[in-house]
């Protein structure tokens, strides 16, 4: 059985897989991660393989515990992956983006795939049907946009994420919600339209924390999968494990 540890910018996701079947997801933070790991080991005694993907901070004692209890893979830019990386600066490619591309290779092989991860940032990653990763784009995520408006101005409030009632905001709150949400939706739809003009047989994946919120509003036909990154990490772990 496989343990996936995904250390993000704001929280830590832990997922248990039995081969390709996702059994459970638990959420932790830097204060609760060690106890959560110990409990998972008790609940799933057959867990023996683990992979860590970290774009945030993970304490040394947590890594030590993982190294003692599991056959551990730490994802970095030298980890073996099942695609050709044509990024001009491959060593700078985020490991979360690597995992997403690996999930597309596993689930949508020999297809042109655009993966959109709507999380802290919104990332766009493209892999062609020849299994070549070409690159993509990075822009601010939904919450980052709310926080930027609040932090970079004197009087604009920090709001919770909310779908605007209409595109014409008739108050400051309505205007902020309209500007951010419709701005994100039109950005995503516009980028999909540009990729679709280049690749007529394009498959589009939407994932990340805001995937479910955004997917209902987008014009384009997409596959929404909030666990896509975890599935990609599980595939990388299997790809790097010698039977």
Provide the Cα torsion 98, 99, 102, 103; round to 10°.
-140
Determine if residue 120 is labeled as part of a ligand binding site: yes
95 known member of a binding site: yes
pLDDT digit string (tens) for 163-176? 999 999 999 999 99
The CATH number assigned to the domain with range 84-233 reads 3.30.420.40
pLDDT on residue 38: 95
Q: Has domain 2-74 been given CATH number 3.40.50.720?
A: no
> Any known ligand binding at 26?
no
Judged against a pLDDT cut of 80, whether residue 238 lies above it is answered with yes
pLDDT 10s digits, 211-230: 999 998 888 778 999 999 99
For residue 45, how many other CB atoms are within 10 A of its CB? Answer: 8
**pLDDT of 243 strictly over 70:** no
86-93 long-range contacts, Cβ below 8 Å, gap at least 24?
A: 86/132, 86/133, 86/134, 86/135, 87/133, 87/134, 87/135, 88/135
pLDDT of residue 242: 62
Can you give the pTM of this predicted structure? 0.91
What integer pLDDT is reported at residue 49 of this predicted model? Answer: 96
In this model, does residue 9 exceed pLDDT 90?
Answer: no
Establish whether 141 is an annotated binding residue: no
Instruction: List the domain boundaries for the chain.
Output: 2-74, 84-233
Among this protein's residues, is 29 annotated catalytic? no
Q: Mean pLDDT over residues 170-184, rounded?
A: 97
From CA 229, how far away is CA 95, in angstroms rounded? 10
Instruction: State yes or no: 129 annotated in a binding site.
Output: no
The catalytic position among 96, 125, 130, 201 is 96
User: Helix (H, G, I), strand (E, B), or coil: what is residue 208?
Assistant: coil
């Amino acid at each position: 059985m496989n343990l996936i540890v995904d250390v993000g910018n704001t929280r830590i996701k832990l997922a248990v897989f039995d081969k390709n079947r996702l059994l459970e997801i638990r959420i932790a933070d830097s204060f609760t991660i060690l106890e959560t790991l110990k409990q998972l080991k008790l609940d799933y005694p057959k867990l023996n393989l683990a992979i860590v993907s970290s774009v945030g901070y993970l304490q040394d004692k947590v890594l030590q515990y993982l190294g003692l209890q599991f056959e551990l893979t730490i994802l970095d830019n030298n980890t073996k992956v099942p695609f050709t990386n044509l990024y001009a600066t491959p060593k700078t490619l985020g490991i979360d983006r690597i995992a997403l591309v690996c999930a597309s290779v596993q689930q949508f092989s020999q297809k042109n795939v655009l993966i959109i991860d709507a999380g802290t940032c919104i990332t766009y990653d493209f892999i062609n049907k020849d299994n070549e990763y070409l690159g993509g784009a990075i822009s601010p995520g939904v919450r980052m946009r709310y926080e930027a408006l609040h932090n970079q101005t004197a009087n604009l409030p920090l709001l919770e994420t909310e779908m605007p009632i209409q595109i014409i905001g008739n108050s400051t709150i309505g205007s902020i919600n309209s500007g951010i949400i419709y701005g994100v939706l039109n950005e995503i739809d516009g980028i999909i339209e540009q990729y679709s003009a280049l690749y007529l047989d394009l498959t589009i994946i939407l994932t990340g924390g805001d995937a479910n919120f955004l997917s209902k509003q987008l014009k384009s036909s997409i596959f929404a999968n909030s666990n896509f990154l975890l599935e990609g990490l599980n595939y990388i772990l299997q790809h790097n494990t010698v039977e």
